[in-house]
Amino acid sequence: MFGSLDASNFSGCVPFYDNEFEKILSKITICYQLMKTDKVVLENDENKIRDVLVNNYINNPKIKQDLQLNYFFFPEVPESKTSGRTDIRIHNPNSFLNQNEEYYIIECKRLDNTNTVGTSGLNAKYIENGIDRFITKCYSSYYRVNGMIGFIVEDLKIDENVKSINVLLTTSFSSIITKQEITKDSFIDEFEYHYSSIHTDEDNDELKIYHLMFNLSENIQT
């Protein structure tokens, strides 16, 4: 389904934590592809989709072994220093000294066709309740890199929808300092819809966010 996942297959000379996170995201993408292959039926509910992805696939012992996915994944975890609750927290099993801070975060959001450039649509929620929570440090960024997954729950043109999110970023959410808009990336073999963006958080520190767009529109029960 995908090529080898060793580090030599990932493009660019990136810091270790970026490179490690790209490997994790690549393996999460394989789990998404398995969901598609299995034709799993999903409710149109962000938390329930996330739980199927994490509990049935990412944390499935056989899948983890096959993918050599050695990190620990915890869904719906409260942040210790804020009132935020992260969708997926990812811990390195080899990080023993500072487990309360040393982890990656992935925030999940549904996306559909409704009001794609308006402030009441799910694209706006993707920014307001996703990207902005990293910018305002509601979610921590120990490694200065985190991720988001867009669960596509209606048929749409994904690249065009990403453009709509970028429009919102520069208009309705101009308070978010964006140094690089959501831009197509290339570190995952045989998967087109992965991106990254670069922002400045409220302490004026640079933050990178990866974006995976998972098209689950055919899996949503009607």
pLDDT at 15: 65
Closest CA to 106 of 190, 204, 21: 21
pTM above 0.85, yes or no: yes
For residue 3, CA distances in Å to 8, 63, 90, 167 come to: 11, 16, 23, 34
pLDDT tens sequence across 149-194: 999 999 999 999 999 999 999 999 999 999 999 999 999 999 999 9
Q: Cα(90)–Cα(85) distance, rounded to whole angstroms?
A: 13
Burial class (CB in 10 A: 0-12, 13-18, 19+), 145: buried
pLDDT tens sequence across 47-59: 999 999 999 999 9
